[in-house]
Amino acid sequence: MLANHWCASVDATIQLRTGCNPLEKHGPQAVQVHAEAWAPIEAVADPHDIRQVVDYEVIFLAIRQLEQDDHCECLESSILRVMDAIFGMAIVTSARVSMHKPHVYNGQATPAISLDLSRQQWEKMKR
């Protein structure tokens, strides 16, 4: 948690096809997604103006768009796609995205992956 920052967060459950593991090749599976985008409070002159704050709808739509991709993708590449949308908002200085699959191992284990990035780290990755 960052002090003196706005945080927009989205929790969603989506149906995602992933193919990194042979146990996962049976079609779309439920994936729980949590995303947070952080912006310094002083960067928002008017918190009542939706164009100035971190727009959680951008995050939600990026997550939902993952379901439309027919290609088998791993959670890591899906997280990076959500990060791209989050950092597409100029006000965002850091973000966290996590995904986990509650049903992959029949309730015996819940594989999860998460990524925390600053804007500087994200920009370096994009070069």
Q: Is 107 left (phi over 0), alpha (psi -120 to 50) or beta?
A: left
Q: Is 63 left (phi over 0), alpha (psi -120 to 50) or beta?
A: alpha
Q: Which pTM value belongs to this model?
A: 0.87
Greatest Cα pair distance, the chain, in angstroms, is 50
What are the structural domains, with CATH classification, of the chain?
5-126 (3.30.1130.10)
Instruction: Give 3's pLDDT tier (boundaries 50, 70, 90).
Output: confident
Average confidence score pLDDT of the chain: 86
Instruction: Give 1's pLDDT tier (boundaries 50, 70, 90).
Output: low
CA proximity to 114, closest of 39, 34, 57: 34
Q: What is the mean pLDDT of residues 72-79?
A: 80
Percent of the chain with pLDDT over 90: 46
Percent of the chain with pLDDT over 70: 87
Q: Is 21 helix (H, G, I), strand (E, B) or coil?
A: coil
